[in-house]
């Protein structure tokens, strides 16, 4: 009946996955784990319940993390190029390490006041190797018919597998969560936020011109 049927993914929501080469991530992760461990020792005991250790958020200003900061900056530049953003002047506004013991999970959240956010995985293993992304169209679950198979058109949550050396980048508004650490080891990752460095001065400025207004006080 139809000569052709096409589907157009308007307003797609992307997650960018960057996998480092083993010869890069193996020594990097070894160093990161050692540095994070030593530089946060002695860590305060975690209160009972669902708690991770999170470091301060200025790791991108500390020399020991220069290689990872460079990798994050390079990947963010690639993302901006791919989505063809004109103003590519940006900074990392926060960067911190997460150490999550077995049993710990992270509820759904966003990273406000930033453009891109991401996570680099230094130590993840089976049972602690995923991040979930949640349907951003909040009314989408009001009509929720039974499906024949879950796929990208009908799922409200998408789980992305992660592994050591993987850097995941997503829009900061994209709601995400981390399931319970079902492994018997610490899950160690480094999160970051990125924002345009001259947001108010440049990007917020109107993109159109109106009729000129004569200044009464002009000479
Ligand atoms: Fe997050």
| Token digits of residue 135 | 């349907």
CB within 8 A of 194, min separation 6: which ones? 72, 76, 90, 91, 92, 93, 114, 115, 116, 117, 118
Q: How close is the Cα of 106 to the center of ligand 1, in Å?
A: 8
Q: How close is the Cα of 121 to the center of ligand 1, in Å?
A: 13
Give the chain's domains with CATH numbers: 16-40+53-136+151-197 (2.60.120.620)
46-84 pLDDT per residue, tens: 999 999 999 999 999 999 999 999 999 999 999 999 999
Query: What's the pTM?
Result: 0.95
112-121 pLDDT per residue, tens: 999 999 999 9
- The pLDDT value recorded for residue 138 is 86
């Amino acid at each position: 009946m139809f000569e052709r049927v096409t589907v157009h993914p308007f307003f797609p929501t992307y997650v960018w996955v960057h996998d480092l080469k083993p010869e890069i991530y193996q020594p990097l992760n070894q160093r990161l784990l050692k540095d994070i461990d030593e530089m946060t020792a002695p860590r305060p005991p975690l209160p009972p319940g669902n708690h991770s250790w999170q470091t301060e958020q200025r790791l991108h200003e500390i020399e020991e993390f220069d290689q990872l900061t460079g990798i994050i900056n390079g990947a963010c530049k690639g993302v901006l190029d791919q989505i063809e953003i004109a103003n590519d002047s940006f900074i990392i506004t926060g960067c911190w390490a997460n150490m999550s013991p077995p049993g710990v999970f992270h509820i759904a959240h966003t990273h406000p006041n930033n453009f891109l956010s991401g996570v680099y995985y230094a130590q993840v293993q089976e049972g602690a190797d995923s991040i979930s992304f949640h349907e951003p169209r909040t009314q989408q679950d009001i009509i929720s018919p039974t499906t024949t198979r879950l796929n990208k058109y009908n799922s409200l949550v998408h789980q992305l597998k992660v592994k050591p050396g993987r850097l995941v980048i997503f829009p900061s508004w994209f709601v995400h969560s981390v399931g319970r650490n079902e492994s018997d080891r610490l899950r160690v990752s480094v999160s970051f936020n990125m924002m345009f460095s001259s947001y108010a001065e440049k990007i917020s400025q109107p993109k159109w011109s109106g009729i000129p207004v004569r200044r009464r006080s002009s000479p």
